[in-house]
Amino acid sequence: MNHLPNTPPLEDGVWLPFTAMRGFLEAPMIFERAEGMHYITPDGRRVLDMMAGLWCVNAGHAHPRITAAIREAAGRLDFVSSFRMSHPGAFAFARRLLDAVPGMARAFFSNSGSEAVDTALKIARGYHRARGDAARTKFIGRAKSYHGVGFGGLSVGGIARHKRDFGPLLADVFHMPLPHDPAQRFLRDRPAAGDHWLAGLDDILAVQDPSTVAAIIVEPVTGSGGVYPPPIGYLEALRARCDKHGILLIFDEVITGFGRLGACTAAEALGVWPDIMTLAKGLTNGAVPMGATLVNSRVFDAYMQGPAGAPELMHGYTYSAHPLACAAGMAALDAYQLEGMFEASAAIAKPFAAALLGLQGAPHVIDVRHCGLLAAVELEPRPAAPGVRGAAVADACFADGVLVRAAGDTMVLSPPLVVTAAQVAQTVDAMARALRAIA
C-alpha cells in the first residue's frame, strides 16, 4: 500500500486519465504545491515543470494576478447560468479575448479543449445548414492530430490507439496525411515548402465531392502527437483550398494558443486565419477549466437569422462562461500582455531549440523537432516494447528534478513562457544523463 504524508492510501478512489493505474500505484508521482516554474512534492522536492502542467500553465504556476482574481470572483458571483442570462465578466472577458485574437468575432465558452472542439464541429455543420447547404456534413482531420476525447474530437483526431476501444465514431470523417518527411531529421527551421504536402488532401477531395465537406480541422502545429511544425506555405495552401471549395477551416489552438509561438495565437504568428478557432488550457493558465470556440463574423452572421425569439445555436454547457473561469482568463491575459510573456517566449524560442538540438548524437535520439516553445525529442523504441524507453527517460528526469512528458517514445516539452536559459540547460543536462543511463 502506498501512503503519502497526510493523504489516504492511493488505492482509494481515483481512476486517472491516460494512466497505467497498476504501474502508477507502484511508483506514484504526486505533487502537493506549485509556484512559478516548479512543482513541489509532498516530501518537499522541487521539480522543474517543463510541460507547463499539461501544455497549459503558460504564465507559470500560482501566478499572483490569477490567484487573486479567482479568489475575488468566488466571493462575488459563484455561478450564473449562461442559458438566456449572463454576467458582466463574460462580456468583458470575451471582448478582451477577441481584441487579442483580432481575426475572430465571437467567443462561445465551454469547459475544456474537447468541448471547444465538439462545439466547433457542431457550429461548422450548423453554419452550412443555416445557409441552405445541409449536404455539407463531412469533416477532414489529419493523421497524428489530437482534438480531445469527445466523440467528435476523437473522430476527427488522428491517433489510432485513442480510438480503438470506442467505435463506431462519427461517420464521414477522413484523414489527410501529416506533412512530414521522416527522412528530414533534426531540422533547424520549419520544413521547406512543397506542393506535395497537400497531395493527400487533394486525393480525398477528388473522391469526396468537396461540396459535401463541412470543415477541415488541424492543429497549426501538431502537439500531443509529437510536435510537427507546419512546412512553410502549408497552412496558406490549406486556407486557399478551403476558400476554393467553400469549406470552413478550423484551427485547434488548444496548445498553440497563448504564447507558444511567440504571439497570442499560431494564426497570428504564422499569418493564416481560420474561420473557427478552439482555445483552452492557457486561456485561464490552467487555473480554472475553460474552453472557447471563436468564430469569425462570416460564421456568426450566418446563424443570425430566423425568428428573433428562438435560440440560433442549440448547444451549450451548464458551466459555459463560468464566472471563476472568466476572471481567471482575464487575469491570465493581464499576465501575458502586461508582463511581456509572448515576447519572452519569442526571445527564448531559438536558444530553446538550439539546446534541444544539442541532443543529436545522444543515445537513442532519432529526431528533434521544435516550433516556438514546443519541442519533441524522439527516441528509437525498444524492440517489441514501444513506449517503455520513453517512460523510463521521463521517470529518470523526474528523479533528477525535471518534469518532461513521454508521448510513447517521444519526449515532449512545452515549458511556461517564463522559462530561463539556465532552466533549459538544466533540462537538457537531465535528459542527456537519463539517455546515457537508460538502455
Binding site for ligand PLP (CB under 6 A): 112-114, 117, 146-148, 219, 223-224, 252, 254-255, 280
Q: Which residue lies nearer to ligand PLP by CB, 176 or 254?
A: 254
The sign of the dihedral angle between the CA atoms of 182, 183, 189, 192 is: negative
Whole-number minimum distance, CB 399 to ligand PLP, in Å?
A: 25
Give phi and psi for 151, each to the nearest 5: -60, -30
Cβ contact 55:255 at 8 Å = yes
Of residues 113 and 158, the one with the C-beta less far from ligand PLP? 113
Toward ligand PLP, which CB reaches closer, 280 or 365?
280
**The three grid cell numbers given for residue 193, joined into one nine-digit string:** 515548402
Distance (Å, rounded) from C-alpha 368 to C-alpha 357?
6
Residue 266 or 333 with smaller CB distance to ligand PLP:
266
Which is closer to ligand PLP, CB of 248 or CB of 438?
248
Q: How far is CA 371 from CA 22, 144, 236, in A?
A: 35, 16, 17
Rank residues 119 and 430 by Cβ distance to ligand PLP and give the closer one: 119
CA distance 386 to 321: 41
The residue (of 148 and 226) whose beta carbon lies closer to ligand PLP is 148
Q: How far is the CB of 203 from ligand PLP (least distance, A)?
A: 25
Shortest Cβ distance from residue 111 to ligand PLP (Å)?
A: 8
213 or 266: CB nearest ligand PLP:
266
User: Measured in Å, how far apart are the chain's first and last C-alpha atoms?
Assistant: 29
Residue 371 has φ and ψ, to the nearest 5°, of -160, 115
Q: How far is the CB of 160 from ligand PLP (least distance, A)?
A: 17
C-alpha distances in angstroms, 131 versus 68, 104, 246, 315?
45, 20, 12, 18
Say if CB 330 and CB 89 are below 8 A apart: yes
Q: Is the dihedral angle over the CA atoms 83, 89, 92, 95 positive or is it negative?
A: negative
User: CA-CA distance, 397 to 325, in Å (whole number)?
Assistant: 33
Q: How far is the CB of 260 from ligand PLP (least distance, A)?
A: 11
In the complex, least distance from residue 141 CB atom to ligand PLP, rounded to whole angstroms = 11
Q: How many beta carbons lie within 10 A of that of residue 430, not counting itself?
A: 22
Report which residue's Cβ sits closest to ligand PLP: 113
